Chains A and B, each alone.
Chain A
Amino acid sequence: MASRLFAAPSPHIHGGESTRRIMGDVVLALLPALCVSTYVLGWRVLLTTAIAVAACVLFEYLIQRFMFKRSSTIGDLSAVVTGILLAFNLPAGIPWWIIIIGALVAIGIGKMTFGGLGCNPFNPALTGRIFLLIAYPVQMTDWTTGIPDTVSGSTMLADVKAGVYGVSEIDFVAMLGGHMNGSLGEIGSFALILGGIYLLCRRVITWHIPVSILATMALFALCVAAGEGGDMLYKLPLFHILAGGALLGAIFMATDYSTSPMTHTGMLIYGVGIGLITMIIRLWGAYPEGMSFAIFIMNAATPLINKYCRPKRFGTK
């Protein structure tokens, strides 16, 4: 074999980073939380997740092949991530057909309508969740269907809001381990944090979005708790960070690349916005949980944030 010269412009080497590896890392980072949920809620968790992932991947494949007539993009694993995140936002025992409708809305309307990966203005999984929350409010807040041996009833956020019990009576250690009601993936707080640390170490995400969201929420809660004093000063902030979808949203949903700002300053503004809106909805809104709506609203603000938060040009003040 002889040698054959070829030419191309610089740079001539690549760092080896790929979309597939990034998405693979996100899937890996979500696994601990999936394990905790399965342990706490049982095998239905795996079934729900499997249906969501399969439906998302299938819909993306079909739309790419038969509507766009382009080669399939499912190899980049982004539909898998959407599927897992969608499942994480559903009650574990939700009927299978609702999952499939959610997947269709997430991939079909949330993602492919805008041209596919990287073009969607709203987080696809969230689009699916919010659609289901409005279309099937009963099923979406029923935490018991099909799951034996689990505590019935509503989420802690709802209970606290309704005054069933107070924040001071909550066992935070049990919360960290996953013993609370809620969507499938949001209950394993400790596992979610672990996944977040993994993503930070792999440089898939930076600290800016999760930290600004959680810090804003904690600070907001602290201000509210200031009136009551005592151990509420740390319990209320802790409660709001651990309860509901705060960690799942801050670490995995709000950090979605195409729907979040490009610069660090932009990310901080975006994160503070999400934190504020979440707390306003949680404390004074009609819903007990506000994370999804907050992220959705700030997704809409992202293009504007990008326009005004440019990186600092070298050599300028």
Chain B
Amino acid sequence: MRTFPIGGIHPSDNKKWSKDMAIEVMELPDEVAIPMIQHIGAPAIPIVAKGDKVLTGQLIAQASGFVSANIHSPISGTVKAVDIFPNGQGLHRQMIVITREGDEWVESIDRSKELKRECSLTPAEIIAKIKDAGVVGMGGATFPTHVKLSIPDGQKAEILIINGVECEPYLTSDYRTMLERGEELLTGVEILMRALRVERAVIGVENNKPDAVAHLRELIAKGNYRGIEVMALKTRYPQGGEKQLIAAITGRQVAPPPALPISVGAVVCNASTSVAVYEAVQKNKPLIERVVTITGKDIAHPSNYLLRFGVSFKSLIAKAGGLPEGDVKVLNGGPMMGRSVVAIDAPIIKGCSGVTIISGAEAERGKEQACIKCAKCVSVCPMGLEPYLLAKLARKQLWDRAEEHNTIDCIECGCCSYTCPSSLPLLDYIRIGKQTVMGNIRARAIKK
């Protein structure tokens, strides 16, 4: 069974808490806050003002540049404020606050449930619709999908890879989506293949989800989806990393930055993104909701909810039975790469595939000890780096040497910190080094 070539770890997957909970539709919130940055790239620019009436699915903020994404209202009602508020990480962001009145949708959106397979649009038309709908990568990186699909001149896509790996422990939203929305997902894949003009698509799923693999294979056979195959991959974190997944499926390695996946002919989209693409293209439905897992060992009712963006972390947590007592960490995402939420009143946005609640004991960091040079961090690094050295160089602020040792290759998967027997916060230091070095590289480019 295939997997990526180097490094990786096997954290316990902890998916049992929420994996068997079917997707529930969460009731509509009375008020939502919609940040203008929910994607990688330039923030969107609000086109509504305080007091405006908006409909569900109406464009409320416009992409400001090529790498940016439109934002639509997830509910209908009145704009209460357009102002600066803290997001989940406590960073101040421009947001549009809307108070709900009923649920009036924009008329052009097809809200019927039946599957619409046929698509006769040209690639350019498909990409335009995806762009209008504000679709971004829903695996967490939130890269605008229309940018990914716009292949630069002189390069050609050969294979579409759908990321159904969900290697992050605890999270089950992609898994439930594959089980419950398989046909929409596969139709989305067909549309993406059409947009990219590729004949072959591979859906990568780890073999800890055999039912998802079997289910998708059955749907492919039954619905005669041509050129799409499901590949079961050997479970190993971080298989969902874009470069790791491409290597696992095609055997080809994307060269170090700034090379992109397209350099080996691959385009990778997340499984949930594929559903969003289907809805955008076939149903004219913009990206205003997604499936979010709420999970954790001490949570009363872990589950998977289909919710509108702008709902607060707090209300989702309340739905699951509230925060457990004592020290807790609320994570936007899973325990390996998720971000700590410091303001639980803040809204859930496009890139949030799950909210994981971790107890103080589970998240406790061990006491830092001296590096014993056991080289375990080197052997688990999926990028072939030397984490102990990069951390040391960052600690000593030797930025040039950190650059020589390719610190910008780091994908921040956290395997090194997870494995370190001396409990060294390797990734904390490497992140500082990586950001500084990337800043230095940009500064040099400007000087030239």
Contact = CB atoms under 8 A, between A and B. Distances in A.
Interface of A: 1-15, 17-19, 21-22, 73, 76, 78, 115-119, 206, 257-258, 261-264, 310-316
A15 B11 contact: yes
15 contacts: A1-B325, A3-B328, A5-B323, A6-B340, A7-B341, A10-B340, A12-B338, A12-B362, A15-B419, A18-B423, A22-B372, A257-B372, A262-B373, A312-B384, A314-B409
B35 interface: no
Interface of B: 5-6, 9, 11, 169, 243, 247, 253-256, 259, 323-331, 333, 335-342, 344, 358, 360, 362-363, 365-366, 369-376, 378-379, 381-386, 388, 406, 409, 412, 414, 417-423, 425, 427-428, 431
Nearest to B428: A9
A22 B256 CA distance: 34
B374 A22 contact: yes
Contacts of A313: 256, 383-385, 406, 409
A2 B385 CA distance: 42
B363 A8 contact: yes
A315 B366 contact: no
B414 A314 contact: no
Given A1-B325, A4-B328, A18 B427 contact: no
Contact of B375 (A119, A257, A315, A316): A257
Contact of B360 (A6, A9, A73, A262): A6
B374 A257 contact: yes
Contacts of B362: 12-13
Contacts of A118: 370-373, 422
Nearest to B362: A13
B238 to A, nearest CB: 11
Given A3-B326, A119-B370, 8 more contacts: A1-B326, A11-B418, A19-B422, A117-B370, A257-B374, A262-B373, A314-B247, A314-B384
A48 to B, nearest CB: 27
Given A4-B326, A21-B421, A13 B342 contact: no
A106 to B, nearest CB: 17
B83 to A, nearest CB: 24
Contacts of A312: 6, 384
A18 B384 contact: no
Given A14-B365, A14-B366, A315 B421 contact: no
A235 to B, nearest CB: 36
B373 A11 contact: no
Contact of A15 (B6, B259, B325, B418): B418
A14 B254 CA distance: 29
